[in-house]
């Protein structure tokens, strides 16, 4: 089991490999995970040198929330669908200024020196993508799904649902090289690559699910998307449109309220608050996001926080349980890693977990890429389909070499 948590240009990267134990979500798994943490804080200035790292799949939410068990995938089930967290005894940190720090057990530090030397000797540009798109999902089926959600919203059963479709690519080759190509096109603050047994996971996620440091909690849901323009002025105009669009504002407001409720389960009364809504441009898209903060109750930990908040509200909907039931009814295949969480919980109990969106799940030379949208009362089926296409663009280019 090997992982690369990539902070993107200007960010911090963390690499770890050689897990001593692998914990997979199942009934009671959070207790097992808690017992695997030593309580030892990392050296000053480092975020992770030992603890648990990996991903938790979307359907693993059935162990923490009222959620249907996944149905068999009509195109074949893949391994590690519920996730895998490795117990690591060391990590390599690459700082934004280029400094490389290996820390952890003496055995890990000694091994890391050789691994880093070998990696530098073999570093080369990734080869071009040669994959082909073999299944894109039916566009009209997705529009029908949007219409079905809108009917439920009109009936008062729901406020919002995140509905996704899946693209499948063949002839992918090396998942790590595919990630390197994707990173060059669309670096992300929560990017990275992981080999988890037979499954590999590549992330271009822009979204923070949970950060816990010194008892302070932050979650930063994203809702609202626009493409970038051909010029800076066009991009600015599109971002200004996103800022005032009532549909996009409502979408984020609903999810912020849901996140406040989730955090309120384990945070001190009166400590949960929302920051300002912000519009930011990423390399290929612009988004609206809003942070929610809280102070964890005394005696609580990152696993309590995960249990209270998983699956992430921004990729389920509101009310959460009803939204997950609708997702199950309308999406023909399980999500796996998509819309789950990926990142780490260090031995001291601090955590950095991203929402696993814009991810490619790679197995036996195929890649599955899910893309979804948040649907509210004034959603338009054609516009939502167009938004999923926009969100798939970076991975389509990285995998196939075409736009």
Q: 122: pLDDT confidence band, cut at 50, 70 and 90?
A: low
Four-residue CA torsion sign, 45, 49, 50, 53? positive
Mean local confidence (pLDDT), 72-93 = 94
| Structure-token pair, residue 200 | 């590999």
Domain assignments of the chain as residue spans, ordered by start: 2-400
Concatenating the DSSP letter of every residue in 119-185 gives: HHHT--PPPPP--EEEE---HHHHHHHHHHHHHHHHTTS-SEEEEEEEEEEE----HHHHHHHHHHH
8 A C-beta contact, residue 81 and residue 70:
yes
The pLDDT score that the predictor gives to residue 121 is 62
Q: Residues 352, 344: contact at Cβ < 8 Å? A: yes
- State yes or no: pLDDT of 132 exceeds 80: yes
Which residue, 194, 238, 225, is CA-closest to 336? 194
* Tokens read off for 292: 């929610």
CA 353 to chain CA mean position, Å: 8
Asked if the model's pLDDT at residue 177 lies above 70, the reply is: yes
3-state SS assignment for residue 273: strand
For residue 403, what pLDDT is reported?
62
Mean pLDDT in the chain? Answer: 94
Could you say which architecture CATH assigns to the domain 2-400?
4-Layer Sandwich (3.60)
Give yes or no for residue 21 having a pLDDT over 90: yes
Q: Can you tell me which residue has the tokens 């000694």?
A: 110
Express each pLDDT in 230-246 by its tens digit: 899 999 999 999 999 99
Q: Quickly count helices (H) and strands (E) in the chain.
A: 9, 23
Nearest to 3 by CA among 283, 14, 156: 14
Closest CA to 289 of 343, 231, 335, 354: 354
- Give the global pTM: 0.95
At residue 179, the pLDDT reads 96
Known catalytic residues?
A: 207, 223
For residue 159, what are the contacts with CB-CB under 8 A and spacing of at least 6?
A: 153, 254, 317, 318, 319, 376
322 has pLDDT over 80: yes
* Cα separation, 104 vs 106, whole angstroms: 7
Q: Residue 182: what are its φ and ψ, rounded to 5°? A: -65, -40
């Amino acid at each position: 089991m090997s992982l690369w948590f990539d902070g993107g240009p200007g960010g911090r990267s963390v690499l770890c490999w050689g897990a001593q134990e692998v914990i997979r979500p199942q009934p009671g798994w959070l207790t097992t995970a808690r017992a695997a943490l030593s309580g030892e804080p990392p050296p000053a200035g480092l975020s992770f040198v030992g603890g648990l790292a990996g991903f938790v799949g979307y359907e693993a939410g059935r162990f923490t929330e009222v959620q249907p068990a996944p149905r068999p995938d009509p195109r074949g089930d893949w391994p590690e669908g519920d996730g895998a967290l490795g117990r690591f005894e060391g990590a390599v940190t690459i700082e934004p200024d280029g400094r490389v720090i290996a820390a952890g057990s003496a055995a890990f530090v000694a091994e890391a020196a050789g691994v880093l030397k070998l990696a530098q000797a073999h570093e080369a540009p990734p080869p071009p993508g040669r994959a082909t798109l073999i299944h894109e999902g039916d566009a009209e089926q997705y529009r029908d799904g949007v219409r079905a959600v809108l009917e439920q919203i009109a009936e008062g059963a729901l406020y919002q649902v995140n509905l996704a479709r899946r693209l499948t690519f063949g002839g992918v080759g090396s998942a790590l090289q595919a990630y390197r190509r994707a990173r060059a096109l669309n670096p992300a603050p929560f990017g990275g690559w992981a080999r988890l047994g037979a499954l590999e996971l590549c992330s271009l996620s822009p979204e923070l699910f949970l950060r816990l440091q010194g008892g302070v909690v932050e979650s930063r849901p994203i809702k609202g998307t626009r493409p970038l323009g051909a010029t800076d002025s066009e991009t600015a105009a599109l971002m200004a449109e996103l800022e005032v669009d009532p549909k996009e504002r409502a979408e984020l407001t609903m999810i912020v309220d849901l996140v406040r409720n989730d955090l309120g389960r384990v945070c001190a009364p009166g400590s949960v608050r929302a920051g300002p809504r912000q519009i930011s441009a990423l390399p290929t898209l612009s988004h609206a996001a809003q942070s929610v903060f809280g102070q964890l109750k005394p005696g609580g930990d990152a696993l309590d926080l995960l249990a209270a908040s998983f699956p992430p509200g921004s990729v389920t909907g509101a009310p959460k349980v009803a939204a997950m039931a609708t997702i199950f009814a309308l999406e023909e295949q399980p999500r796996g890693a998509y819309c789950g969480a990926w990142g780490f919980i260090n031995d001291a109990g601090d955590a950095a977990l991203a929402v696993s969106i814009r991810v490619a799940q790679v197995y036996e030379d195929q890649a599955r890429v899910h893309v979804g949208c948040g649907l509210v009362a004034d959603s338009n089926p054609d516009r939502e389909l167009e938004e999923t296409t926009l969100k798939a663009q970076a991975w389509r280019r990285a995998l196939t070499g075409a736009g």
